[in-house]
Structure 1
């Protein structure tokens, strides 16, 4: 086997690989010899089939397998000897397309090598980290929000009309062509106007009703309605309004605390304070992480694989296009040409991605099975009722697993660097933190 260098410019590499016919023949014979003891053939005892007959019967099939193994072996040996790590799957193609049995195999392999990433002295990095305490005003605002979410309803004054957001207690009977239909009736049903929990157009017609009113509500079932016998049909609901109630926020007291699983109001306040400060800490970490990445970006400079930069620039351009055109859900918008700004951002992302990958590898940082399971479970909660299906989907999809593993790995590398860097904490207000987070989105 012979490997000849064809190109070595920057990170671009190309090599010609020749596997001789004799080498292929030897591999085929090796496979046949290994399998011979287990082969049975009519007219021969097990393990006694002549090699010549085996080669005639199975040689052609084994030739392709041997060819692939020989090429893979040559590639692996090349990477071990050179220390090159390809940035993507190498491109491999046969150059003697009219190859036939008995000919040598000529293959060309080309790839972009990953660059050498310099070592860094983390102790030279200085970065600030914001800290925010949850003050009483923030806790009170959160309590007010909880009270509104736990709202009750109280009867409006006699003769007062229902408004959007009110609760009306109603009896109703739904009819199609004058005939009541199954599932279209209820008594003492509490309906919050504006909740969009009924058929489109139903709630709007009850705005302005008063306790004691009777009203015929005319609606049309949606075409895609779940019950086929009702889909697209016109219906009339005979409604009797039994009560009109206005929303009333719950009192901020021990009873409210118990509704949210706390022992008393002080305990609930403590839980809120912890949750707020955890949110602040998460936001502050994102600001610190961006600043740390900026520092790292300033400290290193090395050649980048052009294919990775190009792919990342196209991905950025594509994502920004859909961010700017949220109604365009398809991918038939044609090629989106990356701008110089996209390419500059792509270079930063690729450079930092390669740097963090190298630093993480040297520090032997890994994402544990427990961390992956937790990440999958967290994301599965976005699909109520389908958590198990989502979990199974991720487990069977290596690409999806990699997408979820990458940010976990990156955060662990960032934490590893921050532990050795000089991190100065500064207490700031919530407003100052919010402004810093907004600036991240603008950059």
Structure 2
């Protein structure tokens, strides 16, 4: 096997590999001899099938394996001899000349093929001793605890019959039965019996609840609505419908009581214990938000420290992922780029910068984690996998088996764990000062602080939040 580098341009490399006919024949003969002891062919005793006969029967199949093994061997040799870290699997280009391929398959001619690579850049780690970060910290306001108690009490609110002549008002609960029609014909899912409806809660199709205000028990009304364009049932989306709605009972909400009995309904011994639990939960939420903002500041600092060439294919893949979110959100919002004060070309340029930032930070975090020898234990992966499975009640076993059988999917579980460990490692190297802030400041829109500001903001909110939360590419790059 003869390997020659033919291109070294930026992060792109190409090598020509030549397998001469003698080498191919030797490999083919070895493969056939290995098959000789295993083949069971009528008319021959085990192990006594002539190699020439095996070659006629299985020569092309064995040669296919020979070529695949040769390609793998060449790839490994190129990576090892040149000390390369690959961004992607090597791309193999065989000759277009069919006669040349055919001669190689018969081990009667040399085979030359090209191995095209895209490598990861070499990253020199920056000194972070001059980095100073501020960690926003907020105390849990009593008002937040009280508001949570009000919501919980509302969930346990009881209702009582207002009477036959009472009119329904916002905040009341109606018991209704209905039959829906499209163009005068009933449709699947359009019928309901004994359904509770809380007026003003926005539980039903827009416009449905408002048309029942003032209704009395026993009254029937025709409610006309139009299903939203993004309705979950495609056959109903955007279509006008009519519902014959009968109100069977009008109920008024009773006064909410926030006391020990409410606490017991939620499994707590007393109201004080419930308040303590609520405060602790809000405190954990504040802590997670504080961590997110601190991490965002750290990523911004890292982004300012590093400039290097990025693997083009990695950037293209990341951009495609970001842009797909933009297109979906624009479609759901029924917005155009002109509506957002920009053009598609300008938006693409802005989001490409976000993709480049995410790839750059992912590579930096991977290099830092590798040099710091950051490890992820099996227990940590198992715990994360259990949490993921719990997100799909009733399907836990299927989810578990899916990840166990799909290494790439399991890598998506490992990547965030790896990234958070690298972030912890980095936070030990920089200066971090706590800063007391209000709840409002803690949860202020992160978009205002984006270093890679882009439009349309609303359309790509998901993409931007993903960027602010982290790159989640670190372990993939280090693999």
In the superposition, the TM-score normalised over structure 2's length comes to: 0.75
Q: Pick closer, same or farther for the CA change 1:321–1:302 going to 2, 3 Å.
A: same
State how 1:323-362 maps to structure 2 within 5 Å: 323-326=329-332, 339-362=348-371
Distance 1:413 1:26, change over 3 A: same
Measured in 2, the distance between the counterparts of 1:398 and 1:16 equals 31
- Structure 2 counterparts to residues 29-428 of structure 1, below 5 A: 29-95=29-95, 97-98=97-98, 99=100, 100=103, 101=106, 102-156=108-162, 159-168=165-174, 192-193=198-199, 207-210=213-216, 213-216=217-220, 241=249, 244-326=250-332, 339-380=348-389, 383-428=392-437
Larger of the two Rg values belongs to structure: 1
Q: By how many angstroms is 1:381 displaced?
A: 5.1
Q: Which runs of 5+ in 2 are unaligned?
A: 182-190, 234-240, 336-343, 454-479
Q: Does 1:433 align with 2:442?
A: yes
Aligned equivalents of 2:285 and 2:9: distance in 1? 49
Note if contact 2:129-2:430 (Cα within 8 Å) is conserved in structure 1. yes
Q: What SS is found at the alignment partner of 1:17?
A: strand
Structure 1 position 154, deviation (Å): 3.8
* Alpha-carbon displacement from aligned partner over 1:260-287 (angstroms, at most 9, x marks no partner): 2211111111111111111111111111
CA contact (8 A) 2:211 2:223 kept: no
Q: 1:249 to 1:147 in 2, by over 3 A?
A: farther
Are the aligned partners of 1:147 and 1:252 in contact in 2 as well (CA < 8 Å)?
yes
Contact 1:17 1:107 (8 Å CA) reproduced: yes
Q: Deviation string for 1:358-414 (max 9, x for gaps)?
A: 112223334444444444454555555545444444444444433343333222211
Change in CA separation of 1:254 and 1:49 when aligned onto 2, cut-off 3 Å? same
Q: Contact (CA 8 Å) 2:174, 2:247: kept in 1 or not?
A: no
How far apart are the structure 1 equivalents of 2:171 and 2:45? 88
Query: Could you tell me how far apart the structure 2 residues matched to 1:20 and 1:191 are?
Result: 79
Give secondary structure in 2 for the equivalent of 1:88.
coil
Aligned CA RMSD, in angstroms, stands at 3.8
Question: Do the aligned residues in 1 keep the contact of 2:75 with 2:90 (CA within 8 Å)?
Answer: no
Equivalent residues, number:
419
Q: Distance in 2 between matches of 1:203 and 1:406?
A: 46
If the length of structure 1 is used for normalisation, what is the TM-score? Answer: 0.80
**Residues in 1 aligned to 2:355 and 2:447: alpha-carbon distance in whole angstroms:** 22
Aligned counterparts of 2:76 and 2:174: Cα–Cα separation in 1: 74
TM-superposed deviation, 1:435: 2.5
How far apart in 2 are the matches of 1:219 and 1:432?
A: 43
